[in-house]
Chains A and B, each alone.
Chain A
C-alpha cells in the first residue's frame, strides 16, 4: 500500500520538478519539431534529468564535431528517432504507474492557495471557459478528461494556476441527468479546480465543470452531490498534469498510487475533442 505523505520521496520530487520544467519550457526544436515534442516522449514518464533544448544540443554537437554536415546528419538521425518515439507514444497511450502530484504543490500564482481568485474573477473565468465553443461540454457521455485538460491549458495560458478533481465510482457510479441525453453514468469524472477567496476572507476550492452546471462554479461538495455522491464514490485531488488517472486500489482511499496518462502536447486532448464534437453533432442530427 502506498500512502501519500506531506513530503514526497526525493525521486518523485525530482521527477515532478523536471516535468514541471519541461511543461513550462518552450524553445526552438530540431528542424522545426517543437523541443517539447522531441523530449517529452523519449521513454516513460518525464525524465528526472535537466532538459536541453534541441537547438542547444545542436550547438553542443557542432562544438564537438566541428563539422556542419556531420552535425546536420546527427541532428537528422535524432529527429527521426524522436519522431518515431513520439508516433509510437501516440499510438500506444503512455500509461505511467505512480503517485500523482498533490494539487497546487508548487503553485503560487492566481488561483492557487497562495493567491486565490475573487468570487467575481472565478465566475468570469468560469463563463469564459464555458463559452469555449470547440469544447463539447454538451456531450457529457464521455470525454471529460479532454474537456478538463483543455480548460486547464487555457487557464495556464492565462497565468491561472489550477488542479483537477477526480470522482471515481467505487460502489456507486457517478451519475447525472442530462437534459439532452437523460441519465448518464460514468466510471469516473474529472474537472478542473481553482482556489477562491470568499467574502468572509476564507479560502475554498471550486470546481469548474460546465458539463454539470452551465452557470457557475460549484463547491466540491456540490459537485459530488450533483453526481449522486459522495456515498459509494471516491474523491481525489491532483495537480493538473495527468490527462487521465485511476487509483490502482480503488477501495483503499489511503492509497493514491495509480495509473496515469499524460498529454503534454495535447495530441490526445485535441483528437478527443474533435471526435466527441462529431459524436454530439451526430446525435443531434438523428444519427441512427
Chain B
C-alpha cells in the first residue's frame, strides 16, 4: 500500500519564516491558542504610532488611526480585553510612544497591543 504523505499545515512555512525572523531581530510574535492549547494564529507584531482613536460604530468597531497607515484599523469593542487594549492605545497616543501591535491581516483588527520590552531594537513603521 502506498504511504500517504501527512498533510502539512500551509501556515507552517510562513510561521517558520516568522520565527526565524523573530529570532534574528528579537521581535516578539503574537500567538493565539484555542481551548485545546493548539495555536490557532501566530502573527508578527510591528511597532506603530497611534494617531487617533474613535468611538464605537453600530458594529462595535472602534476606528484607530495609526501614523502613516493607509488601511482602516479598528478595535472590536466586544474583544475580551477591549478596555485594556483601548487603555494601552490611549496612553501611547497621549505620550506619542510606539506600541507593538498584532493586527489581523484580513480585517486590520488590532488584536493585541503592548509596550516594546526594554532594549528591543525595532523600526516604527
- By a CB distance below 8 angstroms, the chain B residues around A270 are 123
Instruction: Return 14 A-B CB contacts under 8 Å, by A number.
Output: A90-B124, A91-B98, A187-B71, A188-B70, A261-B67, A261-B68, A268-B123, A268-B124, A274-B21, A281-B17, A283-B106, A285-B13, A287-B106, A288-B32
* B14 and A91 within 8 A (CB): no
* Chain A, Cβ-Cβ closest to B121: A87
* A181 and B125 within 8 A (CB): no
Q: Does A280 contact B (CB under 8 A)?
A: yes
Interface residues on A, range: 35 or more
- By a CB distance below 8 angstroms, the chain A residues around B44 are 275, 278-279
Interface residue count on the B side (C-beta < 8 Å)? 34
**In the complex, which of the residues B40, B67, B124 has the most CB atoms of chain A within 10 Å of its own CB atom?**
B124
* B67 and A93 within 8 A (CB): yes
Report the separation of the CA atoms of residues A244 and B70 in the bound assembly, to the nearest whole angstrom: 10
Shortest Cβ distance from residue A40 to the other chain B in the assembled complex, whole angstroms: 14
CB < 8 Å A-B pair total? 102
Q: Does A185 contact B (CB under 8 A)?
A: yes
* B122 and A91 within 8 A (CB): yes
Binary interface encoding of chain A residues 243-286 relative to chain B, with 1 for a CB under 8 A from any of its CBs, else 0: 11000000000000000010000011011101100111111111
* Chain A, Cβ-Cβ closest to B10: A285
**In the complex, which of the residues B13, B21, B32, B44 has the most CB atoms of chain A within 10 Å of its own CB atom?**
B44
Q: Does A189 contact B (CB under 8 A)?
A: yes
**In the complex, which of the residues B13, B68, B96, B124 has the most CB atoms of chain A within 10 Å of its own CB atom?**
B68
**Contact partner, B105, options A92, A141, A173, Cβ 8 Å:** A141
Report the separation of the CA atoms of residues A285 and B39 in the bound assembly, to the nearest whole angstrom: 14
* Chain A, Cβ-Cβ closest to B48: A93
* A243 and B68 within 8 A (CB): yes
With A90-B124, A272-B125, A275-B44 given, is the CB distance from A282 to B72 under 8 Å? no
Binary interface encoding of chain B residues 17-31 relative to chain A, with 1 for a CB under 8 A from any of its CBs, else 0: 110010000000000
- By a CB distance below 8 angstroms, the chain A residues around B106 are 181, 283, 287-288
Interface-located stretch among A29-37, A105-113, A142-150, A215-223: A142-150
Report the separation of the CA atoms of residues A46 and B43 in the bound assembly, to the nearest whole angstrom: 36
